[in-house]
Amino acid sequence: MVDPANTVGIPVNPTPLLKDELDIVIPTIRNLDFLEMWRPFLQPYHLIIVQDGDPTKKIHVPEGYDYELYNRNDVNRILGPKASCISFKDSACRCFGYMVSKKKYVFTIDDDCFVAKDPSGKAVNALEQHIKNLLCPSTPLFFNTLYDPYREGADFVRGYPFSLREGVSTAVSHGLWLNIPDYDAPTQLVKPKERNTRYVDAVMTIPKGTLFPMCGMNLAFDRDLIGPAMYFGLMGDGQPIGRYDDMWAGWCIKVICDHLGLGVKTGLPYIYHSKASNPFVNLKKEYKGIFWQEDIIPFFQNVKLSKEATSVQQCYIELSKMVKEKLSPLDPYFDKLADAMVTWIEAWDELNPPAAATVNGKA
């Protein structure tokens, strides 16, 4: 059994990369003691805590962290009627943190994710690896069989076109998990004791035209490149589906990244996922998604965004129209979701007005 790393005694990172350009977004219904273990790697960064559930509950944040905390009352106060697009009683609420952030980068992590150990026993600074992934180009147009060609000690292999070696900007870095893997409820039910002990030392770009199941528990992204598409949908309270928040966002961001020529990476870093949520509760949340995704995936595989869609917002609005037209026949839920996608963009642009257009050089 792989156990989490011991970070006691590790000094707080004296040279935190992107310290003032990155926010850490944590959705929570629990206390945040898990941050004690992350202190050496995360303390220098600003936290955005999205408190789900009962807003009167007091969430304890360990001393020494710089944070802002938003509960449901704050979401309603800030967004007014547009708060309807932010899920309640589901980790999907985390996307509110992406919207209120003012930084270029976001790292989001669940409160039951701890520092992992690599095979040498060294504590993994997951944030540092995500930053490396984001600051390095991606290679979605041609697969490099030696994985990340920009990594120390690796390169492009023979036959890799030189015209493609510059790569493209990386929009998303998707990390993995030791111990409790992110399995769906049926898999959890048939394999209750399965634990992931395999640490694969690789980062790879997900090829253009290929979708993937994006898990939100250990994820980083470039807000400027893809932030407006990182909507985690309508899940949880009052909705017919849950635990498809990150999946929905992953399918949307991937078709938009493919369209805009941006990269998505998966692999390192690992975190140690400690808590298995209840598979029976998960099954109730997921079962419609397990059924619907057999139609949703072909929908995304056939999405063609127009050449006029050159911004993330334009792509997302185009996508919402396709969702309304092509997925609403599956279930009226998708009609609501398509509208919520538009509300999300309206709210995003309200809180993140594009840089004021300059007229004759004046803002």
Ligand X SMILES: O=c1ccn([C@@H]2O[C@H](COP(=O)(O)OP(=O)(O)O[C@H]3O[C@@H](CO)[C@H](O)[C@H]3O)[C@@H](O)[C@H]2O)c(=O)[nH]1
Can you say whether residue 35 is alpha, beta or left, with left for phi > 0 and alpha for psi between -120 and 50 degrees?
alpha
Binding mask 172-191 for ligand X (x = CB under 6 A): ----------x---------
Place of tokens 């409790």: 180
CB of 238 to ligand X, least distance (A): 13
**Residue 233 makes contact with ligand X by CB under 6 A:** no
Stretch that binds Mn ion, among 125-133, 223-231, 234-242, 267-275 (CB under 5 A): 267-275
Stretch that binds Mn ion, among 157-165, 268-276, 299-307, 318-326 (CB under 5 A): 268-276
Name which of Mn ion, ligand X, none residue 29 binds, using a CB cut-off of 5 to 8 Å depending on partner kind: ligand X
Name which of ligand X, Mn ion, none residue 288 binds, using a CB cut-off of 5 to 8 Å depending on partner kind: none
Task: Candidates 32, 217, 252, 319: give the one binding ligand X (CB under 6 A).
Answer: 217
**Residue 295 makes contact with Mn ion by CB under 5 A:** no
Nearer residue to Mn ion within complex by CB, 277 or 328:
277
Task: Candidates 23, 52, 148, 222: give the one binding ligand X (CB under 6 A).
Answer: 52
Instruction: Tell me the C-alpha distance between 115 and 217, whole Å.
Output: 13
Binding to ligand X (CB under 6 A) within 310-349 occurs at: none
Nearer residue to ligand X within complex by CB, 236 or 267:
236
Nearer residue to ligand X within complex by CB, 52 or 258:
52
Contacts of 178 (CB under 8 A, 6+ apart): 2, 116, 195, 196, 197, 199, 270, 271, 272, 273
Task: Candidates 46, 89, 288, 326: give the one binding ligand X (CB under 6 A).
Answer: 89
The residue at minimum Cβ distance from Mn ion is: 112
**Residue 243 makes contact with ligand X by CB under 6 A:** yes
Binding to ligand X (CB under 6 A) within 249-278 occurs at: 275, 277
Task: Candidates 216, 227, 279, 289: give the one binding ligand X (CB under 6 A).
Answer: 216
Task: Give whole-number Cα distances, 88 to 49, 58, 242, 292, 351, in Å.
Answer: 14, 17, 11, 22, 20
Task: Candidates 112, 295, 331, 339: give the one binding Mn ion (CB under 5 A).
Answer: 112
**Residue 286 makes contact with ligand X by CB under 6 A:** no
The footprint of ligand X (CB under 6 A) covers 27-30, 52, 89-91, 93, 110-112, 182, 215-217, 236, 243, 245-246, 275, 277
